[in-house]
């Protein structure tokens, strides 16, 4: 659970810093004014949705941290037999990177109110994610054809579980992206549309980051085992 604990520690540090910044040490009974400066002219709908997504991504990250922790704990046992690594995954990773870049471009286009660029970015990002999913399915087929099925070995089971959890998140992202694309025919870059695009892009970057972490874990964990062993040595 060391990974999960580290994750929690980072969160605790952020939360602690934030709380201190917001006057956790103040003596509220001494103040009787409406505190804080007057709000700006713009209604604050934007930060709410973004903060909501931020909280959701934290939850998703916690979920992944648990998976990674479980994986490392299981890997520690002596009968661990890692499975061969399909080359295809490198290709999939590349596609996911491109998809994320495309959405980044879409956000920039939305900020410039450039409709064509926005459309191009969104569709390219969506297509990239779809190709990634197909690629993952192909990787599953290659593996199971080679005899590495869910029930053969915990290492295999973990591979399928981790990729499935990540894939489901990508699928959910595609639904959200589809809803954003459905707003495109309006022809104008409204504030709402821009917000949707930004949210999608944030989510995509998160999924990319999560995939890179999982990819490194699944592909290279044996090479990092020595590091993990040093960390847990006192407990042996």
Tell me which residue has tokens 């990177």: 97
Q: Helix, strand, or coil here: 207?
A: helix
- Work out the number of other CB atoms within 10 angstroms of the CB of residue 227: 10
Taking CB under 8 A as the binding criterion, the range among 94-102, 128-136, 150-158, 217-225 that sits at the site for other proteins is 150-158
Give me the 31-70 binding string for other proteins, x by CB under 8 A, dash otherwise: xxxxxxx-xx--xxxxxx-xxx-xxx-xx--xx-xxx--x
- Residue 72 or 118: which CB sits closer to other proteins? 72
Count the alpha carbons within 13 Å of 45 in the hemisphere toward its beta carbon: 8
CA 75 – CA 82 distance, rounded (Å) = 9
CA 60 – CA 58 distance, rounded (Å) = 5
- Residue 74 or 130: which CB sits closer to other proteins? 74
CA 221 – CA 224 distance, rounded (Å) = 5
In degrees, rounded to 5, the angle at the alpha carbon of residue 235 between the alpha carbons of residues 233 and 236 is: 70
Binding residue for other proteins (CB under 8 A) from 6, 73, 146, 216?
A: 73
Binding residue for other proteins (CB under 8 A) from 6, 10, 23, 179?
A: 23
Residues at the contact surface with other proteins, assessed by CB under 8 A:
1, 4-5, 8, 11-12, 15-16, 18-19, 22-37, 39-40, 43-48, 50-52, 54-56, 58-59, 62-63, 65-67, 70, 73-74, 77, 79, 150-151, 153-154, 157-158, 161, 165, 202, 234-236
């Amino acid at each position: 659970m060391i990974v999960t604990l580290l994750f929690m520690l980072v969160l605790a540090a952020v939360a602690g810093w934030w709380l201190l910044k917001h006057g956790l040490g103040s003596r509220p009974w001494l103040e009787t004014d409406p505190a804080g400066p007057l709000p700006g002219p713009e209604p604050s709908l934007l930060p709410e949705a973004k903060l909501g997504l931020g909280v959701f991504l934290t939850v998703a990250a916690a979920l992944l941290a648990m998976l990674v922790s479980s994986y490392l704990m299981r890997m520690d046992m002596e009968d661990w037999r890692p499975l061969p690594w399909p080359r295809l995954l490198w290709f999939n990773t590349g596609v996911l990177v491109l998809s994320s870049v495309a959405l980044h471009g879409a956000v920039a286009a939305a900020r410039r109110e450039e409709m064509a660029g926005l459309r191009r970015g969104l569709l390219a990002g969506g297509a990239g994610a779809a190709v990634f999913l197909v690629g993952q399915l192909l990787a599953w087929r290659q593996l199971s054809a080679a005899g590495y099925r869910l029930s053969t070995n915990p290492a295999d089971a973990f591979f399928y579980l981790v990729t499935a959890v990540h894939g489901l998140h990508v699928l959910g992202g595609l639904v959200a992206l589809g809803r954003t694309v459905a707003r495109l025919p309006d022809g104008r870059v409204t504030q709402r549309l821009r917000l949707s695009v930004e949210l999608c892009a944030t989510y995509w970057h998160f999924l990319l980051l999560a995939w890179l972490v999982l990819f490194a874990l699944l592909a290279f964990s044996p090479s990092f085992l020595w590091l993990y062993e040093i960390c847990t040595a006192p407990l042996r």
